Structure 1
Amino acid sequence: MTAVAPRREAVALPRGPLVGFAAGSLGMGVWVTVPGLLLLYFLTDVLAVAPWLAGLTLLLPKVADVLLHPWIGHRCDVEQARRGHRRRLLLAGCALPPAFAALFAVPGGLTGAGAAAWVAVFFVAGNLLFAAYQVPYLATPADLRIGYHERTRLMAFRMVVLTLGILVSGLLAPLLAGGDDATRAGYLRMAVLLAAGMLAAMAVGVAGIGRLRRAAPAPAAGHGAGGWRALAASLRDRQFRRLAGAYLAMSTTTHLVLAGVPYYAEYELGRAGLTTVLVAAFVAPALLVTPGWLVLARRVGKQRALLGAQAAFAAGSLVLAIGRPAGLPVLVAAVAVLGVAFAGMQLLPFSMLPDVIRAAGAPRAGTYTGVWTATEATGAALGPYAYALCLAAGGFVASGAGQTVVQSPGALAALRYGFGLLPAAVMVLALLVQRRYTLDGAARDEH
C-alpha cells in the first residue's frame, strides 16, 4: 500500500491568487479545444486531406509528447530545486499562441499531403510549447502547503475558468471561421484573434502562480533522482498507474467526441451550424455543475464521485448512437449529460494527481506531471485518430472548401456509431480501471 505523507499544516488559499492561477487555464482551454474540435474537419473538409492521412497528421505529432513531456517534467523539477520556482518554463510556454495561429495559416496552394505536412509541423511545435506551460502549471498544487480538500478547491477554480475558455473558444471558433461557409481565410482570422486572447490569459496565469507560491510555500526539498530513473519511479507507483490509465481512456473518449461534433452536426443532424449548439450543450453545464462536483467530492470522496461521472458519460453516449430518430431535443440533452460528466472528469482526476504526488513523498512533482500530461496528450491524439478510422472504415469521402459530397449510408452509420457507441465502450474501460484506485481514503484521512 502506498505510504501517505504525515499531516502538515494546511493553508487556505486567498481568492485573488486562486483567480490569477485559474486565468492561465483560459488560454490553455483554447489549445485544448480548437484543434480538437476543428482540426480534423479542417483537414478533411477544407484542405481535402483523406481521412486516414488526416488521422495520422493528428496522431504522429503526439508520439514525441510521450517522450518529451516526462523530460520537460524532469527539467521542471531541476528548475524547482535550483531556483525555487518553475517560472522559466512557463514563460517559454507563452510562445504557444503564435504556433496556434500558424497551425491554421496553411498557404493557399497547399492541399492534400502538402497541407497535412504543414499542419503536422506546427502541431508538433504547439504541443511542445503547450507542454512547457502545462507541466509546471499543473505541478503547482503539489508544490503548495495545502490539504486534500484545498487541492480540490484550487482545481475547481481552475476547472471553472478552463470551462469558460473551452466554451468561449468552442463557440467563437466555428463562427469566426465562417460557420456554414468556412474558408481558409476564415480559419486564419479565427486563429489570430484567439491567439491574442491566449497570450494575455497565459501571462496572467504566470503571475497568479507566483502569488500562490508566496501565499502557501512548501517546505524546501532536495532534488531526487532525475531523468529515466525518475520516470521509472513514477511508473512503478501503482496508484499513479491506475489513475493515469483511467485518465488516458477518459481523455481519449472526450477528444473523440469533440472531434466528431462537426461531422455529427452536419451529416447526422443536417446542419453544420449546429456545431455551436452541441459545443454549448457539452461545455456550458460545466460552468454550473463544477461547484456541485466539489460538494459531492467533499461528501463521498473524489473516487466515488469520479466513478459516477464516468458512468453518466457512458450512458449519455449510448443515446447519441441512436441519432436523428431520437429527436434534436433528446440528443442535445444527451450531450448536456456528457457535459455534466465532463466537468467531474476534469476536476476530480486533476485534484487526485497532487494527492498521489504528495503520497509518494518524493520531490518529483514535475516528473509525475510530465507523465500525466503525456497521457493526456496521447488521449488527445488517439480520440480524433479513432474517429478518423471510423470515418475511413465507413468510406467517408474528403472534400475541399465549398464542395458538396453525398456520403454513403455506410459512412453515415460509421460517423454516428463512432460518436456514440465507441465513446461508451472506452468510458466503460476507464471506469473499470478507475475502480482499482485505492488511495482516496488514505489521502482524505491525511487532511
Structure 2
Amino acid sequence: MIAPAASTSTVSRGVRLGYGVGSFCTATVTAVPGLLLLYYMTNFLAVPAWLAGVVVTAPKVWDLFINPMVGRWSDRTRSRMGPRRPWLLAGACTLPIAFFLVFAGPPLTGVPAALYIAACFLATATAYALFEVPYKAMPGEMTHDYHERTSLLQWRMVFIGAATAIAGVLAPAIVTSQGDDGTPASYRLMGATIAAIMLVSMLGAFFGTARAPMTGAPEADRGGWREQFSAVKDNSAFLWLTVLACTQMLAVSMMLAAAPYFAAYTLGTPTATQTLFAALVGPILLTMPLWVRLARRFDKRGAMILATVLFGGGTTAAVATPLFGSAWAHVTILVVGVGYAGVQLLQFSMLADVIAADAQRSGKRRAGVLTGLWTAIESGVSSFGALIFGIILSLGGFIESEPSRPVQQPDSAVTAVLIGQTAVPALIIFASALMTLKYRLTPPGAPASDASA
C-alpha cells in the first residue's frame, strides 16, 4: 500500500495544461508510424510485408538500451530547470527533424528503401527517448496524492485524444489529399505537418512545466546498473504493470498497423481510416471524467479490468464486419475507444503510483530509471505488433505493390487482414484482463497490501 503523505501538493491548472500538451508529441510519434509506416512501405516502396514489419520493429530494440540510459541521466541531472526539463528541450530540438526524414526519403524501393527508413526510424527513436522518458517520469514527482495523479493525468489524456485525432484523421487526410491511396509527395507533406505539430507541443511542455512542483524528491540513486536493476526486480508492482502495459500495447500496435489495410480491403475504401479513428478518438475526449470516477469507485485495478473487457469486446465484435458492413465496424470501434480511453489513463496513473511508492520506500530518486525501463520494454514489445501483422499478411499471401502497378489481393490476404485487425488483438487484450489481477498497489486506507505486491 502507498504510505499516506504528510502533505499533498496541488498541481495548478496551468501546469496541468502545460504538462498535458506534451502528449501531442508522445501520441503522434507513436500513432502515425504505427498507422501509416507499414502501409507506406508495402504499397508505395515495394518493400515485402515481412521486411517492412522487421523495419518497424528493429529500431525499437534500441529503446531497450537508450530509454533506461536517458532515465538514469535525467535522475542524476542537476539544473536550475530541474532534472527532467533539460531533456524535454533536447528532444524538442531533434525529434521533429528525424521524424520528417522518415517520410521524406529519396526515390528508393525494395531493400534500399527499407534500409533508409530503418536508419531514420532509429534516429527518431533516439530523439524520442530524450523527451518521452523524462516526460513520463514527471507526474510521480508532482504530487503525493493517489487520486490526484489520476485527475492530473486526465488532462494528459484529453490531449492524447486530440493527438490521436491528428494521427488518425488529419495525417491520413493529408496523405489521401492527392488521391485515395496517396502519393510520395503527400506523405512528405504529412511528415512535415506532423513534425511541426510535435515541435510546438514539445516546446509547450517545456515552458508549461517551468513551475511544476517537485514533492520533496529524494536524492538520485547513485548506485550502479546492477544495484538499480536488482531494486527493480524486487518491485513486483512495477513488474506486473510493465507486463500488463506491454500486453495491452501489443494489441493496440497490431490494430494500428492493420487499420489502413482494414479500411482498404475489408471496408473497401482507404479513406475509412479517418472515420474509424474518429470513432476511436471520440470516447477518449469525452469519457475521461467518467474513468476518473470509476477509478475512485472501483479502485484503479477494477476500473482497468472493466476497460480491458470493453476494449476486447469491441474488438471481438468487429470480426463480424464482413456480415454487417461499415456501420457495424464503426460502432464496434466506438466501444473499443471507450475501453482504450480507460486503459491509457489507468496505465499512466498506475505508473505514477509505482514511482511514488518506490521513492517512499527507497528514499532514492529512480523515476527516470523506472520510466525508462517501462517505456523501453513497452515500446519494444508493442513494436512487435507490426511485425506480427506483417507475418500474418505474408502467411495470407499478401502481395506488395507500387502505385504504378496495383495488384488484386487474393481472398486469403483479405481474410488475413480481418484476423490481424480483430481476432488476434482481442485474444491479447483479454489476456491482459487476467494479468491485471496481479497488480495490487492500493491507496492509503485500503485493505492491507504491500507496496510492492
> Do they fold alike, i.e. is TM over 0.5?
yes
Kindly state the Cα deviation for residue 27 of structure 1 after the two structures are TM-superposed.
2.2
CA contact (8 A) 2:9 2:215 kept: no
Amino acid in the other structure paired with 1:223: A
Aligned match of 1:73: 71
Match of 1:431 in 2: 433
Q: Give the secondary structure class of the aligned counterpart of 2:406.
A: coil
Partner of 1:194: 194
Q: State how far apart, in whole Å, the 2-side matches of 1:18 and 1:350 are.
A: 14
Cα offset for 1:226? 4.2
| CA drift at 1:227 | 2.7
C-alpha distance in 1, partners of 2:41/2:278? 23
1:249-268 matches, cutoff 5 A? 249-268=247-266
Bigger share in helix: 1
Question: 2: CA distance between counterparts of 1:210 and 1:83?
Answer: 7
Alpha carbons of structure 1 residues 391 and 442: separation in structure 2 relative to 1, 3 Å:
farther
* Range that drifts further, 74-83 or 407-416: 74-83
Q: Matched residues in 1 for 2:206 and 2:28: separation? A: 17
Do the aligned residues in 1 keep the contact of 2:141 with 2:217 (CA within 8 Å)? no
Distance 1:356 1:193 in 2: 36
Aligned to 2:219: 222
Closer, same or farther in 2 for the Cα pair 1:83/1:209, shift >3 Å? closer
Contact 2:25–2:197 (CA under 8 A) maintained in structure 1: yes
Deviation at 1:308, TM superposition (A): 0.6
Question: Which residue number corresponds to residue 14 of structure 2?
Answer: 16
The equivalent of 1:151 in structure 2 is 149
Between the aligned partners of 1:129 and 1:440, the Cα distance in structure 2 is 35
Aligned to 2:420: 418
Match of 1:312 in 2: 310
Report if aligned partners of 2:64, 2:377 keep a CA contact under 8 Å in 1: yes
Q: State the match for 1:404 in structure 2.
A: 406
d(CA) in 1 for partners of 2:95, 2:47: 25
Distance in 2 (alpha carbons) for counterparts of 1:228 and 1:127? 25
Give yes or no for contact 1:81–1:221 (8 Å, CA) kept in 2: no
1:30 partner SS: helix
CA distance in 2: counterparts of 1:80 and 1:342, whole angstroms: 37
Question: What amino acid is the match of 2:160?
Answer: L
Q: Could you tell me which residue of structure 1 aligns to residue 451 of structure 2?
A: none
- For 1:258 and 1:289, the matched residues in 2 are separated by 21
C-alpha displacement at 1:178, in angstroms?
Answer: 2.4
Deviation at 1:304, TM superposition (A): 0.4
- Asked if the contact 1:74/1:226 (under 8 Å) is kept, the reply is no
* Residue 402 (structure 1) shift: 4.0
Q: Closer, same or farther in 2 for the Cα pair 1:438/1:130, shift >3 Å?
A: same
Corresponding residue for residue 325 of structure 2: 327
1:379-413 deviation per Cα after TM superposition (whole angstroms, max 9, x unaligned) = 33111111111101111101112432111111111
SS in 1 for 2:22: helix
- CA–CA separation in structure 1 for the residues paired with 2:80 and 2:11: 25
1:369 is matched with which residue?
A: 371
> In the aligned structure 2, how far is the partner of 1:402 from the partner of 1:310?
42
What is the aligned partner in structure 1 of residue 54 from structure 2?
56
What is the TM-score of this pair, normalised by structure 2? 0.93
Question: Quick one: distance in 2 between partners of 1:318 and 1:220?
Answer: 44
1:40-439 paired onto structure 2 within 5 Å: 40-79=38-77, 84-94=82-92, 95-108=94-107, 110-179=108-177, 180-213=180-213, 217-224=214-221, 225-360=223-358, 361=360, 362=362, 363-439=365-441
Structure 2: stretches of 5+ with no match in the other structure:
449-453
Distance, in Å, in 1 between the alignment partners of 2:98 and 2:198 is: 11
Q: Which moved more, 1:175-184 or 1:387-396?
A: 175-184
| Deviation of 1:313 (Å) | 1.1
The alignment yields a C-alpha RMSD, in angstroms, of 1.8
**Gapped runs of 5+ residues in structure 1?**
none
The percent of aligned pairs where both chains have the same amino acid is 36
Cα contact 1:252–1:378 (8 A) shared by 2: no
